[in-house]
Amino acid sequence: MPLKTVICIGMAGSGKTTFMQRLNSHMRSKKNPPYVINLDPAVLKVPYGANIDIRDSIKYKKVMENYGLGPNGAIVTSLNLFSTKIDQLIKLVENKRDKLEHCIVDTPGQIECFVWSASGSIITESFASTFPTVIAYIVDTPRNSSPTTFMSNMLYACSILYKTKLPMILVFNKTDVCNADFAKEWMTDFEAFQTALRDDQELNGNSGLGSGYMGSLINSMSLMLEEFYSQLDMVSVSSFTGQGFDDFLNVVNNGKINEYDEYYKVERERVLKLKEEKEKQRKDKSLEGLMNDLGINDKKKPKSEDDSAEVLSDLEEGEDDGLVVPDEFEDSEREYTFASGDRTQGEINAQNAPGLQKAYQEAANRVGKSANSETAENIARYLRQ
């Protein structure tokens, strides 16, 4: 079976780290230990043994001192530095693919530092492109007993879902303190949430958060989130007692992994194919432009066989060794300017023009004598010098 990855995300104080510790111990009790990764650089101690800990390679306080950053800025910078080695991290996890079934990842408590940063996207997409990946959104159940706070948390969960586009499980934690049945009822019954909202308005009066404009806004958003709730699985757990973790693992193994294969994986392959096609079109267009600039691929002027030759040696020699006789001269007879049409009669020689030949000979002799005398004088002048 493929190694499944669970990325735990939640608000500060929602019990994320405790949830990780209980999930780790629960899996080990089932003889199915997970591969544990800690990505929170600012935590002092973790209650579980991590196979990979960001604190081993990134020193949070040194990042603050060297870059002059505050707490949140140092967390983002630490994640940025760590994400440059994400390929090595993925390779280490891949080596455990045949031995382990799950990989669980703990993220920083400052949720915006991970979810909305470039490094968080790189880490999440790297896992999701290699392993079936599920987002576990941890919710603090006692703090969400108010309809206003509950709606704020659901909107944040909705934004994370559409940001990561990965299967998500809403994990209502701390059920040993407050039962999460009210949350399940609000998510499945719109009228029950409306009743709770009206009760909250009456309880707080006109000065409360649930009154006035805020109440009207929450009422409208609850209608919008009805479709969002239908795509989620909700699980209530207690990290203190260990209650509900069997239900959580059942949803991960049977429900969300199938959802990953059916939706996310298919969508990712479609996007990658579309990206490859666009890249191919861009390369073809760039190559076509280059060839047009070089005059190699001129579509307006059809190329002949001779135009396709790039160098002179590409032209094959014919019977005439490159000499081409114009068509209009191939069959025509040669014309002469002599009086007689006989070519032999038109030639000048000693038989038909003896006087002209004698005159030519005398002129040649005179030129030769003058040239010889001039050459002799030049030699004598040179010797006297």
141 HSE (CA, 13 A, CB side)? 22
* Whether pLDDT at 262 is above 70: yes
Q: Average of pLDDT values for 303-310?
A: 49
Structure confidence at residue 315 (pLDDT): 46
Percent of residues, the chain, with pLDDT higher than 70: 75
DSSP annotation of 4: E
Compare 54 and 220 and report the one with higher pLDDT. Answer: 54
As a whole number of angstroms, the distance between CA 309 and CA 323 comes to 18
DSSP annotation of 341: S
* Torsional class of 305: left (φ above 0), alpha (ψ -120 to 50), beta (otherwise): alpha
- Taking the CB of residue 46, how many other CB atoms lie within 10 A of it? 16
pLDDT digits (tens, 9 = 90+) for 196-239: 888 877 776 654 444 567 777 887 788 778 778 877 889 999 99
Q: Average of pLDDT values for 281-307?
A: 69
pLDDT confidence tier of residue 335, bands split at 50, 70 and 90: very low
Phi, psi of 327 (to 5 degrees): -60, -35
Q: Which of 229-243, 278-292, 294-308, 310-324 shows the lowest mean pLDDT across its residues?
A: 310-324
Q: Average of pLDDT values for 342-352?
A: 54
pTM of model > 0.85: no
Average pLDDT, the chain: 80
pLDDT confidence tier of residue 59, bands split at 50, 70 and 90: very high
Structure confidence at residue 146 (pLDDT): 87
As a whole number of angstroms, the distance between CA 107 and CA 160 comes to 14
Mind listing the domains of the chain with CATH numbers?
4-204+217-268 (3.40.50.300)
As a whole number of angstroms, the distance between CA 358 and CA 346 comes to 18
Q: Average of pLDDT values for 292-318?
A: 54
Q: Average of pLDDT values for 347-360?
A: 61
Structure tokens given for 16: 């994320």
Compare 135 and 303 and report the one with higher pLDDT. Answer: 135
Q: Average of pLDDT values for 24-45?
A: 93
pLDDT confidence tier of residue 365, bands split at 50, 70 and 90: low
Percent of residues, the chain, with pLDDT higher than 90: 37
Strand 133-140 versus strand 52-53 pairing type = unpaired
Structure confidence at residue 82 (pLDDT): 94
pLDDT digits (tens, 9 = 90+) for 88-125: 999 999 999 888 999 999 999 888 889 889 999 999 99
As a whole number of angstroms, the distance between CA 254 and CA 258 comes to 7
Compare 334 and 23 and report the one with higher pLDDT. Answer: 23
pLDDT confidence tier of residue 142, bands split at 50, 70 and 90: very high
Q: Which of 42-51, 287-296, 337-346 shows the lowest mean pLDDT across its residues?
A: 337-346
Residues 6+ apart with CB under 8 A from 21: 46, 47, 48, 239
User: DSSP string spanning 146-208?
Assistant: SHHHHHHHHHHHHHHHHHH-S-EEEEEE-TTTS-SHHHHHHHH-HHHHHHHHHHHHHHHGGGS
* Whether pLDDT at 298 is above 60: no
pLDDT digits (tens, 9 = 90+) for 315-334: 445 554 444 444 444 444 54
Structure confidence at residue 354 (pLDDT): 65
Residues 6+ apart with CB under 8 A from 237: 19, 22, 171, 172, 173, 175, 243, 244, 245, 247, 248
Structure confidence at residue 34 (pLDDT): 94
